[in-house]
Amino acid sequence: MMSQNILHTGKRVHNMALQQIQAIPEELFDVQPPQFNNTIRWHVGHMIVTLNYFLYKATSFQFEIPEVYGRLFSPGTKPSDWTVAPPTKEELLECISGQLKGLEGISAASLEEPLKQPVDLGPMHFENAGELVNFALIHEAMHLGNIASMLKVIKQA
């Protein structure tokens, strides 16, 4: 039952992310207020890359994203270091939509399984697929909060 709840919440959070990102004008995607380390485009791309990573580690999730996304949006990257053009808002939205469809294919039973290899993220240690997927959702929600904060700052400038 708990695993089914995680998946249900995951689909809702990811759909909410899709709707919120769709509503942001693309001309705001690359504005970087001085109070922030990254841009909205970076946060969206980072959400895609990390959700793919966590779901791949936790389940049989297979959604292919362009290889360049890892170089642009992995932890520790930033737009000021980019040497290639980033994906458009539309391309990012296509990935988010594809991931949402992919979430439909994850079974609740798979979240009860132990990970093939435990995952350590700083002080956090994950041994169970459901734990890692749950963290992935929290991570995505944190970045949605960052995007919302950035939009407030950008609109007040």
User: Which pLDDT belongs to residue 1?
Assistant: 63
User: Which pLDDT belongs to residue 2?
Assistant: 79
pLDDT tens, 136-149? 999 999 999 999 99
User: Which pLDDT belongs to residue 104?
Assistant: 86
63 vs 153, more confident: 153
Burial state string for 46-85 with b = 16 or more CB within 10 A and e = fewer than 16 = bbbbbbbbbbebbbebebebeeebeebbeeebebeeeeee
pLDDT tens, 51-98? 999 999 998 787 899 999 999 999 999 999 999 999 999 999 999 999
